[in-house]
């Protein structure tokens, strides 16, 4: 049940993950188009963004974030050195402990929230519309963290076994349920916005249960039946997972707390800022999720297998090829989003409760986020390099450094910038910290393992940058020409033209590299 190695295997698995992730992102765009029109970008969306950030924080901390990073290398090592039966026993023990911990956290949080509701006036909280909606949404969404973390654990197991299809399809279930409830809401225009958003939260809860059930079923099919296990909790491998988890959780927890701080600062910056930033982030997540997350998902078990065998040269080759393949897509995507931010935002979001003013606000944030797209993607390839070696401390050090910088920059943005530009300052802070994080990760990787062999990537990366700049210039020149066309048609023409320009320039500058990528793709099919 081992995943196939080699660059062809990485590209094949990345294509699989990317294809299903692309489907999920397309469904996500449909979802966002419906939600922007039915909910808007006001108080209700802002409250939802903050409430949904809490279970998402738990997902990153106990699911596909710290726990996956801590568990996958150990699980993969056991499958390589022992047997799938031993790995199954390890998975059951860790899963049981994590699920019990999550249940306890949810029950405790619900109790604390009930107490907060009862004493809110005594501690100085005013019953604003936004506060009441936020509290109700948080209470609804808290149990979602149990389901999504269970599903994320299943993803880690399946990815370790080289079974990427089910785990890549899993996010589609959430989007299908989400779209379904929004479509249902559209038939009831008399519903208030707060009633609409609460029904969305309820549908998300149901989707989480479906996601966990689906992944657990696929684990069973793969030979790792997810039974509860209350023995062997003191085993050496279990302790190694929890030692790794302790360090990784500090890093992931700090990142997620920083993300929550960002949401709170946006919440304070203006009544609409958190919702606007959320919309911009989801547009940026389209290329990042399809390509960046796909490489990160595949590289962690791949690196873990190579390091378990002591194949450092193979890991370097995997990193080098992945960086070039990643940047071949990320750089033009960043250039396109920067130039076409208003058109993309308008076509996808504008309409109904989402007006021109909201479009302008989201487009400003999206243009800034696009400048960091390549660095966001590169981070997802660099972090698994350390995690696969059971080194959780280095990503933690980098995270803590960027968190401090991000917090300072965010506070300055809220205090010093005009109201209409504060959310742009928050986005710029995120980009600056992504650049800093990539630089630090590269420095520490070189100290740890010597050269990563990335020297040969400099020339092709420079050519990709030139092709991306040429594409951006062509798009900027074409915008006035197609401005009078229908929005969807104009955007389609611009995107198609940009792809043609990038492809032509890239073929001229990267003839050998493109042929190599195509040959590898054919061999991996």
The 10s digit of each residue's pLDDT in 211-224 is: 999 999 999 999 89
Helices 422-449 and 373-387: crossing angle, nearest 10°? 40
* % pLDDT > 70, the chain: 90
The residues pairing with 354 across neighbouring beta strands, listed in sequence order, are: 351
Higher pLDDT, 151 or 25: 151
Residue range 283-305: mean pLDDT, rounded: 79
Contacts of 484 (CB under 8 A, 6+ apart): none
Residue range 322-332: mean pLDDT, rounded: 90
CA distance readout (Å), 421 to 312, 339, 370, 405, 424 = 46, 19, 17, 19, 5
Residue range 132-161: mean pLDDT, rounded: 88
* CA neighbor of 44 nearest in space, from 245, 197, 242, 163: 197
Residue range 370-382: mean pLDDT, rounded: 90
Whether residue 10 has pLDDT greater than 70: no
The 10s digit of each residue's pLDDT in 164-181 is: 888 888 889 999 999 999
Whether residue 108 has pLDDT greater than 50: yes
Helix intervals (H) in 450-510? 458-482, 487-509
Please report where in the chains the tokens 């419906």 appear, as a residue.
Answer: 34
Helix intervals (H) in 142-235? 144-160, 165-185, 193-221
What average pLDDT does the chain have?
84
Distance CA 264, CA 451 (A): 41
Q: How confident is the model at residue 5 (pLDDT cuts 50, 70, 90)?
A: very low
pLDDT at 464: 93
Q: What is the pTM of this model?
A: 0.70
pLDDT at 253: 59
Distance CA 381, CA 326 (A): 9
* % pLDDT > 90, the chain: 31
Please report where in the chains the tokens 């959430």 appear, as a residue.
Answer: 174
Residue 36, token pair as written in the block: 């922007």
The residues pairing with 351 across neighbouring beta strands, listed in sequence order, are: 354
Q: Is the dihedral of CA 215, 396, 372, 521 positive or negative?
A: negative
354 SS3 class: strand
Contacts of 213 (CB under 8 A, 6+ apart): none
Residue range 277-284: mean pLDDT, rounded: 84
Whether residue 41 has pLDDT greater than 90: no
pLDDT at 173: 93
Residue 502 near residue 332, CB atoms below 8 Å: yes
The 10s digit of each residue's pLDDT in 506-522 is: 888 877 665 555 555 44
Distance CA 50, CA 59 (A): 15
pLDDT at 4: 45
For 351, list phi and psi in degrees, rounded to 5.
Answer: 140, 150
Please report where in the chains the tokens 């968190």 appear, as a residue.
Answer: 403
Distance CA 257, CA 406 (A): 12
pLDDT at 419: 86
pLDDT at 132: 82
Whether residue 128 has pLDDT greater than 50: yes
Higher pLDDT, 263 or 277: 277
Whether residue 119 has pLDDT greater than 60: yes
Distance CA 227, CA 421 (A): 51
The 10s digit of each residue's pLDDT in 379-414 is: 888 988 998 888 888 988 898 898 889 889 989 998
Distance CA 67, CA 149 (A): 9
Q: How many CB atoms lie within 10 A of CB 259?
A: 17
pLDDT at 522: 46
């Amino acid at each position: 049940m081992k995943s196939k190695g080699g660059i062809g295997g990485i590209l094949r698995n990345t294509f699989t993950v990317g294809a299903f992730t692309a489907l999920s992102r397309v469904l996500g765009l449909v979802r966002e188009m419906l939600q922007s029109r039915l909910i808007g970008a006001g108080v209700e969306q802002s409250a939802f963004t903050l409430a949904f950030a809490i279970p998402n924080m738990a997902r990153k901390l106990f699911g596909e974030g710290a726990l996956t990073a801590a568990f996958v290398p150990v699980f993969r090592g056991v499958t390589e050195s022992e047997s799938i039966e031993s790995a199954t026993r390890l998975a059951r023990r860790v899963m049981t402990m994590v699920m019990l911990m999550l249940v306890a956290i949810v029950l405790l949080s619900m109790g604390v929230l009930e107490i907060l509701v009862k004493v809110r006036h005594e501690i100085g909280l005013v019953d604003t519309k936004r506060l009441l909606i936020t509290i109700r949404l948080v209470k609804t969404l808290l149990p979602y963290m149990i389901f999504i973390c269970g599903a994320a654990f299943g993803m880690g197991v399946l990815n370790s076994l080289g079974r990427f299809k089910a785990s890549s399809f899993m996010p589609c279930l959430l989007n299908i349920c989400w779209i379904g409830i929004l479509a249902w809401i559209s038939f009831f225009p008399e519903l208030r916005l707060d009633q609409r958003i609460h029904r969305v939260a309820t549908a998300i809860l149901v989707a989480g249960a479906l996601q966990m059930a689906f992944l657990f079923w696929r684990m069973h099919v793969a030979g790792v039946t997810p039974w509860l296990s209350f023995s062997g909790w003191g085993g050496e491998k279990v302790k190694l997972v929890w030692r790794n988890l302790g360090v990784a959780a500090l890093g992931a927890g700090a990142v997620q707390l920083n993300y929550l701080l960002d949401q709170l600062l946006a919440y304070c910056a203006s009544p609409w800022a958190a919702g606007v930033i959320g919309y911009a982030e989801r547009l940026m997540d389209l290329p990042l999720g399809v390509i960046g997350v796909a490489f990160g998902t595949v590289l962690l078990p791949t690196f873990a297998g190579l390091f378990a065998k002591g194949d450092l040269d193979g890991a370097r080759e995997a990193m080098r090829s992945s960086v070039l393949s990643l940047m071949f897509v990320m750089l033009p995507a960043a250039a396109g989003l920067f130039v076409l931010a208003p058109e993309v935002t308008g076509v996808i979001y504008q309409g109904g409760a989402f007006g021109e003013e909201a479009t302008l606000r989201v487009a400003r944030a999206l243009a800034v986020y696009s400048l960091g797209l390549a660095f966001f993607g590169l981070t997802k390839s660099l972090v698994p390099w350390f995690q696969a070696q059971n080194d959780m401390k280095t990503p933690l050090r980098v995270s803590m450094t960027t968190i401090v910088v991000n917090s300072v920059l965010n506070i300055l943005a809220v205090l010093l910038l005009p109201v209409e530009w504060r959310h742009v300052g928050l986005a710029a802070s995120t980009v600056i910290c992504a650049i800093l994080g990539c630089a630090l990760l590269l420095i520490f990787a070189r100290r740890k393992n010597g050269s990563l062999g990335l020297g040969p990537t400099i020339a092709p990366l420079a050519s990709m940058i030139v092709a991306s700049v040429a594409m951006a210039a062509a798009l900027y020149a074409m915008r006035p020409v197609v401005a009078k066309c229908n929005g969807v048609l104009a955007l389609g023409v611009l995107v198609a033209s940009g792809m043609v320009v990038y492809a032509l320039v890239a073929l001229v500058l990267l003839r050998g590299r493109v042929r190599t990528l195509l040959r590898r793709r054919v061999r991996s099919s």
